[in-house]
Amino acid sequence: MKILPRLLSSALIAGATLAPRLASADGALRTVLVIDASSSMRGTDPKELRKVAAELFVDLTRNSDELAVVGFDGAARDAMPALVVVRTPDDRARIKQAVRAVGNDGNWTDFTAGLEGARSLLAGKPRAPGDQDLIVFLTDGRCDPDPRGALADAARAGGKTKVEQVCQAKVLDDLVPSLGKTRIYAVGLSKSAPRAFLEDLGRRTGGIGVATDRPDELPRLFADIYARLFGSRLSEGASSPSISVPVDEGASSLDLVLVGPPKLGMRLFDPKGAEVSTAGDRPGVYFSDNPAYRLLRLDAPEPGAYRLDVSGGGTGGRYAVLQNLDLHLTFPGLPEVLEIGKSATLKLRLATPGGKAPSKTFLDRHAFSLAAVEGANACDDAALASAAPVPLRSLPDGSFEATITPSKKGALCLLGRMSPGDAGVLTREVKSAAIRIIPPIHLKAAVASPFGPVKQDSRASARISLEGSDVGELIFADVEADIENQGNREGMSLSPRDVEIGPATKKHFDVTLSVGRDAPPGPREITLRLVPKKPQGFEDRAVSVRVPVTIVPLTFWERHGRNVQLFLLAFFTFFLVIGLMLPARFRRTAILHYEDRRDPDLPRQAKFPLGAKVRAGLYRSACVAIGPMGPVPRGGVVELRAGPGGAVLARPAAGKRATELPRDDDFSAGEPREPRLVNGWFRVSPGVKYAIEGTGLVFWWSPR
């Protein structure tokens, strides 16, 4: 009996999600739980695990859905007075209390009583648009009505010995038609459960009927129900201290259920390692702590690897992980413009925002349709609703396609629908934006004037004519050239890169070819392609034209003249700088002293700032001519010139001799002597006086 609770709970985890949170815009899912309350349940389900599973169902039900509970034996009993809209935890607690109130002391098992009770509850509150009705029917045996009741009387009146046959016929022939579009998910939990009848009951109502004498088959059976309805992902297994929970892109919700004794606790960590709080302080998180199970629901989980930690030993229980997908119906790659008379293939696809499509099994449980309307009122809701459907073809990737051929100028609007088919639940609808319908587009290109001869490192223009083209709508086209392939090895480029073509535009345009300095010379042809890019869908109308051009090479002076000029300029500048920087200069603090001794009784003395006023010239050292009266513009009796290292050199005028005079304080000095000349020049020592014979000039210089 330890296996049954875990498997039954896992089974109803899957069954409970028949109330999916995927269909939030599809109206409410109205479900009645019909639970067997006969005394045979004391042996089949002594621990009343059917109630635990039903309470789990209540916790898994999404908000805004409706629930009610009916117990039955020989008649409907312990039934709720009406469907309850699930909005708050108090609503769930109220329904759970009704589940617990279902007894196990009934004398008979009348299927018609339980189903009739469910029908009355569903009929008591009419369905709103988009609402769907479900019955989850749980029993542990055959239909065994009261032998004194109406079914037994009908069996005797019809000459039948088995009341069970009459009961089953009553359900299939009378009750099922009266339920309308209500779907029944029937579960038999014993060897005596009528398998064929339950399967027929599910098939006739668009639900599923299952029966098993092995409880360990229940998870697989109910997982199949879940997958058939919603294309959801379910994984389950024995609990362990740490369980990896990968969450796919596009998951709208994540339900984690831990079934086991109260000592088992659960903690969930998101892909970043942060713990998901179950204290009720985080929006989009619902946690239920039941003595037999723990349930954690996370809305809109981010994709990634979650981790479920199980405390209290980590073993001894079962876990189940359910993921619902956020599915949208779309028109992928819908063109902006279509042409009159030209067929176009359009796609309709159901997928998550990231493009993940549900399984083909799920898609097969739904019906897809497409309506198309042309004209001024193409997007009018009434016109789309009454439009004839367009045939759809299914594709291997799970999408659908249709071929549409517009017949008149204006607009085209599409309406795609997904509705529940066999065992389906979801409803989706998508309306396209208006697609413009334009006259056919035919491009014809010709060369009106070629590029002709083009010299390297220059430009030339060619005129492309579109005369004879049919363009009923403004389009934008890219201008492509074969010279731009493979990294532009030809050394050429083209402009402009795009042009406008339309009814009111010119039927010709100019393109400019820029030829690089290294473009190979000689004649060639350049292939230009006009590729329509906007609106989309006309790339196949590209036209090509071959334009001749002859590349003329540059002359030597055209190619290298500028470099030669720059070299000469740099060369001249270099020597100019050298000429200005190399000539020797007097020290900036050098002072020239001079005396005029032509009148021995009245000598005149003065000084001249040699370093400050005598400048060097281009390739010429600083120099100055000196006469008896001091520096003179030309002539003079001696010439002074700056030497290396700030030295002062002197050269007497032709025929003149210079004499180095003894220092005034040098009493040991001898007679005046002539300085040693080198090429007519001698070095003037600082502070030493020199006289120029026959001129009366005496001069010397000091560093400061």
- DSSP notation for 346-370: EEEEEE-TTS----HHHHHTEEEEE
Q: Looking at residue 632, what is its pLDDT?
A: 92
What token pair was written down for 228?
Answer: 């058939």
| Chain segment 69-100, per-residue pLDDT in tens | 999 988 888 889 999 999 998 999 999 999 99
Give helix then strand counts, H and E, for the chain: 14, 43
Who has greater pLDDT, 520 or 491?
520
Tell me how far the alpha carbon of residue 214 is from its chain's centroid.
48
DSSP one-letter code for 89: H
Collapsing DSSP to helix, strand or coil, 178 comes out as helix
Distance CA 224, CA 231 (A): 10
For residue 206, the SS3 value is coil
Q: Copy the structure tokens of residue 265.
A: 């606790």
Candidate CATH numbers 2.60.40.420, 2.60.40.10, 3.30.540.10, 1.10.150.20; the one for domain 446-552: 2.60.40.10
DSSP 8-state code for residue 215:
G
The residues with which 39 forms a beta bridge, in sequence order, are: none
* Calpha distance 221→10 (Å, rounded): 10
Is it true that 328-438 and 446-552 share their CATH fold? Answer: yes
CB 371 within 8 A of CB 389: yes
Q: Does position 540 have pLDDT exceeding 60, yes or no?
A: yes
Contacts of 261 (CB under 8 A, 6+ apart): 312, 316, 317
Per the CB < 8 A criterion, the answer to whether 201 and 135 are in contact is: no
Hey, what amino acid is at 329?
L
For the chain, domain boundaries: 3-231, 328-438, 446-552, 591-702
Supply the angle between the helices 3-16 and 218-230 in degrees, to the nearest 10.
10
Please report the pLDDT score of residue 413 as a whole number: 92
On the question of pLDDT at 226 being above 60, the answer is no
The two beta strands, 543-552 and 452-455, are parallel
The whole-number pLDDT of residue 370 equals 93
Q: At 262, list the tokens.
A: 């109260």
Question: What kind and span of H or E run contains 440?
Answer: none
The C-alpha atoms of residue 132 and residue 119 are separated, in whole angstroms, by 13
Residue percentage of the chain with pLDDT more than 70:
90
**CA dist., res. 249 & res. 662, Å (int):** 109
pLDDT score at 191: 80
Contact 524, 492 (CB under 8 A): no
Q: Is the pLDDT of residue 15 over 60?
A: no
Cα 410 to Cα 116, 377, 390, distances in angstroms? 55, 9, 19
Q: CA triplet 296, 297, 303: central angle to 5 degrees?
A: 115
Write down the pLDDT at residue 307. Answer: 94
For residue 519, how many other CB atoms are within 10 A of its CB? 23
Model confidence pLDDT, tens digit, residues 456-482: 889 999 888 888 888 877 888 888 888
Burial class (CB in 10 A: 0-12, 13-18, 19+), 388: exposed
The residue to which tokens 């594709």 are assigned: 395
Amino acid 18: pLDDT: 31
Q: Is 53 helix (H, G, I), strand (E, B) or coil?
A: helix
| Strand ranges across the sheet with 492-495 | 446-449, 458-465, 508-515, 492-495
Lowest-pLDDT choice from 12-16, 190-194, 404-408, 435-439:
12-16
Cα 104 to Cα 101: distance, rounded to the nearest angstrom? 10
**240 and 317 in contact (C-beta within 8 Å)?**
no
Cis peptide preceding 353, ω within 30 of 0: no
Taking only the tens place, the pLDDT of each residue in 173-220 is 989 999 988 889 888 878 888 888 999 998 898 888 887 765 445 445
Q: Which class is domain 3-231?
A: alpha beta
346, 577, 578 from 353: Cα distances, Å:
19, 73, 75
* Pairwise CA distance, residues 654 & 574, whole Å: 37
Classified as helix, coil or strand, 6 is helix
User: Which CATH architecture describes the domain 591-702?
Assistant: Sandwich (2.60)
* Dihedral (CA of 371, 377, 381, 387) sign: negative
What mean pLDDT, rounded, does the chain reach? 83
By the 10 Å C-beta count (0-12 exposed, 13-18 middle, 19+ buried), 641 is classed as buried
Tokens of 249: 């892109």
> Confidence band (pLDDT; 50, 70, 90) for 490?
low
Q: What is the mean pLDDT of residues 372-401?
A: 87
Query: Phi then psi for 177, rounded to 5 degrees?
Result: -60, -35
Torsion sign, CA atoms 188, 192, 197, 200:
positive
Q: How far is CA 577 from the centre of its chain?
A: 61
Decide if pLDDT at 412 tops 70. Answer: yes
Q: Which CATH number is 328-438's, of 2.60.40.10, 3.40.50.20, 3.40.50.300, 3.40.640.10?
A: 2.60.40.10
- pLDDT tens-digit series, residues 629-673: 999 988 899 999 999 888 999 999 988 899 998 876 665 656 788
- According to the model, what pLDDT value does residue 487 have? 43
Tell me the CA distances in angstroms from 138 to 80, 211, 241, one per residue in order.
17, 10, 33
DSSP labels, 532-597: EEESTT-GGG-EEEEEEEEEEPPPHHHHHHHHHHHHHHHHHHHHHHHHHHSS----TT-EEEEEE-
Burial class (CB in 10 A: 0-12, 13-18, 19+), 171: buried
Dump the DSSP string for 595-654. Answer: EE-SSTTS-EEEEEEHHHH---BTTB--EEEEETTEEESS--SEEEEE-GGG-EEEEEPT
| DSSP-assigned states of every residue in 250-283 | TEEEEEEEEES-TT-EEEEE-TTSPBPP-SS-ST
Taking the C-alpha atoms of residue 503 and residue 475, their distance in angstroms, rounded to an integer, is 10
What's the pLDDT score for residue 176? 92
Q: Which of 362, 451, 427 is nearest to 398 (CA)?
A: 362
Show the tokens assigned to 352: 């998550």
Give the mean model confidence (pLDDT) for residues 488-507: 79
> What are the two backbone dihedrals, phi and then psi, of residue 222, each rounded to the nearest 5 degrees?
-80, -30
Gap between the Cα atoms of 397 and 332, Å rounded:
13
Instruction: Give SS3 for 684.
Output: strand
CB atoms within 10 A of CB 69: 28
Residues 6+ apart with CB under 8 A from 542: 443, 529, 530, 531, 532
